[in-house]
Structure 1
Amino acid sequence: MVIPVHDVNPVRGTPYVTYTLIAANVFVFLFMPGLAGSTAGDSGPAQLCHLQAFVEQYAAVPRELIHHQLPQLVPTGAVDPRTGGCLVGAPGYDKSPALSVLTALFLHGGWLHLLGNLLFLLIFGNNVEDRLGHIRFLLFYLACGYAATYAFAYLNDTSSDPLIGASGAIAGVLGAYLALYPRVRVWILVPLLFFLPLRLPAWIVLGFWFGLQAVYSSGEGVSGLGTVAYAAHIVGFLAGMLIAWPLRAGTTPPPEPRGLIFGRHARPRW
């Protein structure tokens, strides 16, 4: 596991779409029912049932995406006073499976899930947006998210477990970055006995990340992490690479400035 900190890859303009996507993900997370309480440690059955109903309505569900089999009973958001569990009933809404892929891209299951995704989007998304342009980057982001979600649903077509998170779309951003800027240096922190800072080429950092997803997807080295959609990460990454590959020839590698500390100029001491 490595933690990216900064890449040595300046941009020509402001990455408005990247910043907007980050803000939208944070906004949605803060208003997801039950999560604020769970963060503070005071979530009760009512909050958890409300959250379960919310996720069921707006998350992507493989069985719904592939077979269009919408459930006849869903959580209502209320607590059963007899059992203390969540009540179920007929859905009081019309759900579009295709649209649920879009809404699921902005839902996250916790702070670590959210911040981990947004860290990668912040570091690598700005340069991909800079190369593609604002509108094309937004369409690219959504296309990778849809490709990753539908691929995972196809591989798990009988599953009724909700799929949430921007990981598939952000994996596409990482794949595009690798295709466009393989030699750009990236500062990372490697947690050993302490956090060891290293500056490595993007092809090593992102290649290592992709390798981990492949290993975890096969079930090797995984303990209690079966709820993570690693297959979606792999498909999103490959989709991003394929879409960005034709732009590789016209992408000028940025010059790497000298005298950098964590990707920023060090001030001289007089």
Structure 2
Amino acid sequence: MFPIRDHNPSGRTPYVTIALIAVNILIFLGYFPNSTDYGLDRFFVQWGLVPARVMAGQGYETFLTSMFLHGSWMHLLGNMLFLWIYGDNLEEDMGHPGFLAFYLAAGLAAAGLQTLADPGSRIPMVGASGAIAGVMGGYLLLYPRAKVDVLFIIVIFFRIIAIPAWIVLGVWFAIQIFGGLNTPGDMGGVAYWAHAGGFVAGLVLTLPVWLRRGGATYWEKTHGHPPHPETQFRAARSNVPLIRRRRN
């Protein structure tokens, strides 16, 4: 189950979104391909966010640097896909400088909550997903019923289904809360509280845009849909042929 695109076109070129994707990719290519495991570990300890180090009064710059580091190709590509799906619409609504400030603020809030949730952790946190979670939270507030195409993969069968954003993003947020409550702080892996913190920060930081549009009145007027015609895609069915069983 993986979101691949939305039906919410943007009327402006999302220069900041494109630039953020480019910067993340270039930074990743600068350190990852030729790094050994040992060298990568040392790099992440230095430039990733280590809560115990921050709580000791060191490494405050890593609140920012950790947002542009990724631990693997899949980590990078997954985050950049989510940023591309949801970022262009928020950038159009907030303007280029406003969206950049929003993105960085959401990322800082995400890192802050993860630090407070596990202040003694010595595991470095890296990734743009906290900031991107903020983008997802803002998107949910403005376009709760925008259609998002989700790819379902069941063994060899592929199916793309359009699902309202409030379901896709609501389920995603619930998973983060569940994961945060049920994952010991010293296990590493997914920074669930960073995701949750970024998401809530994105909702809060988008409130001024939502209120300028009329708040609840805006929702009533648009019924939660984007205030413009949606992108139409052809029905996406699996290219794998279905072989029906013959009856004797």
TM-score class normalised by the smaller sequence = 0.7 to 0.9
SS in 1 for 2:60: helix
Report the AA paired with residue 33 of structure 2: A
Is 231-240 or 189-198 further displaced after alignment? 189-198
Q: How does 1:151-190 map to 2 (within 5 A)?
A: 151-190=113-152
1:239 aligned partner: 201
**CA displacement at 1:208 relative to structure 2:** 1.2
1:100 aligned partner: 62
2:33 aligned partner: 36
Percent of residue pairs identical: 44
Contact kept, 8 Å, 1:144 with 1:168, in 2: the verdict is yes
**CA displacement at 1:20 relative to structure 2:** 0.4
**CA displacement at 1:246 relative to structure 2:** 2.9
Structure 2: gaps of 5 or more residues:
237-248
- Asked if residue 131 in structure 1 is aligned to residue 104 in structure 2, the reply is no
Change (3 A) 1:258 1:138: closer
**CA displacement at 1:226 relative to structure 2:** 4.2
- Asked if residue 227 in structure 1 is aligned to residue 218 in structure 2, the reply is no
Q: Distance in 2 between matches of 1:147 and 1:242?
A: 11
Q: Distance in 2 between matches of 1:107 and 1:189?
A: 26
2:246 aligned partner: none
2:227 aligned partner: 254
SS in 2 for 1:189: strand
- Asked if residue 203 in structure 1 is aligned to residue 166 in structure 2, the reply is yes
Q: Distance in 1 between matches of 2:170 and 2:50?
A: 29
SS in 2 for 1:248: helix
Q: Distance in 2 between matches of 1:149 and 1:262?
A: 39
2:39 aligned partner: 50
Contact kept, 8 Å, 2:54 with 2:60, in 1: the verdict is yes
2:179 aligned partner: 216
SS in 2 for 1:158: coil
Structure 1: gaps of 5 or more residues:
38-42, 71-96, 264-270
Q: Distance in 2 between matches of 1:31 and 1:259?
A: 38
1:14 aligned partner: 13
**CA displacement at 1:66 relative to structure 2:** 2.2
Q: Distance in 2 between matches of 1:259 and 1:216?
A: 35
SS in 2 for 1:108: coil
Q: Given the two structures, how large is their TM-score scaled by the length of structure 2?
A: 0.83
Q: Distance in 2 between matches of 1:112 and 1:50?
A: 20
Q: Distance in 2 between matches of 1:218 and 1:137?
A: 31
Contact kept, 8 Å, 1:169 with 1:236, in 2: the verdict is yes
2:112 aligned partner: 150
Q: Distance in 1 between matches of 2:195 and 2:210?
A: 22
Contact kept, 8 Å, 1:144 with 1:239, in 2: the verdict is yes
Cα shift readout 1:190-228 (whole Å, capped 9, x = no counterpart)? 2223222111111111111111112211227x9xx7421
Q: Calculate the aligned-residue CA RMSD, in Å.
A: 2.1
Question: How many residues matched?
Answer: 222
Contact kept, 8 Å, 2:8 with 2:230, in 1: the verdict is no
SS in 1 for 2:148: strand
Cα shift readout 1:225-250 (whole Å, capped 9, x = no counterpart)? 74210011001001101111232241
Q: Distance in 1 between matches of 2:142 and 2:171?
A: 17
Q: Given the two structures, how large is their TM-score scaled by the length of structure 1?
A: 0.77
Q: Distance in 2 between matches of 1:55 and 1:259?
A: 42
2:243 aligned partner: none
